[in-house]
Amino acid sequence: MKYSHKLSDAVHILAFVDIFQDGDLSSKMIASSVESNPSLIRRLMSLLKKAGLLSTQPGTVAPKLSRPASDISLLDIYQALDEERNLLHIDPKTNPNCLVGGNIQETLDEAYARVQSSAEKEMSQITLQSIIDGILDRHAKKTADDSNS
């Protein structure tokens, strides 16, 4: 099964920009954190900018969040991406002459729509700030554990 890392990479970019706002925010530096390539980072940053989540100035390497991290939800980031927005997908090629094959697509459409709605509602409750706080808390805990070892 093919899956995309775009959402986690986009969250990674925004968290990096917020945490290291006074540091090197070049696509090369961010790509080294994501373990990706700078062109992918630039493409994702472009989508985030188009969605109003990131602001940049031409000729400078100083991206910034367009609004506070507490005002950016995981759903906002998810919706900024240019791919189909369905979490679950139905096999479009089933046998219409079969009892199951002829009826499963519409039946799954209804079930998957409920899952999508629930997921989006939950994503709207998770802020970028809560993710950043989790990153910083885990880092502080690891640092404390390392110094106690």
Q: Which domains does the chain have, with CATH numbers?
A: 6-148 (1.10.10.10)
Q: Do residues 73 and 125 touch, judged by C-beta distance below 8 A?
A: yes
pLDDT of residue 3: 65
**Phi, psi torsion values for 73, nearest 5 degrees:** -100, 165
Look at residue 2 and tell me whether its pLDDT is greater than 60: no
| pTM for this entry | 0.88
Q: Which two tokens stand for residue 22?
A: 């006074």
Percentage of residues in the chain having pLDDT higher than 90: 79
Write down the mean pLDDT value for the chain: 92
61's tokens: 């390497």
Least confident of 32-46, 87-101, 124-138: 87-101
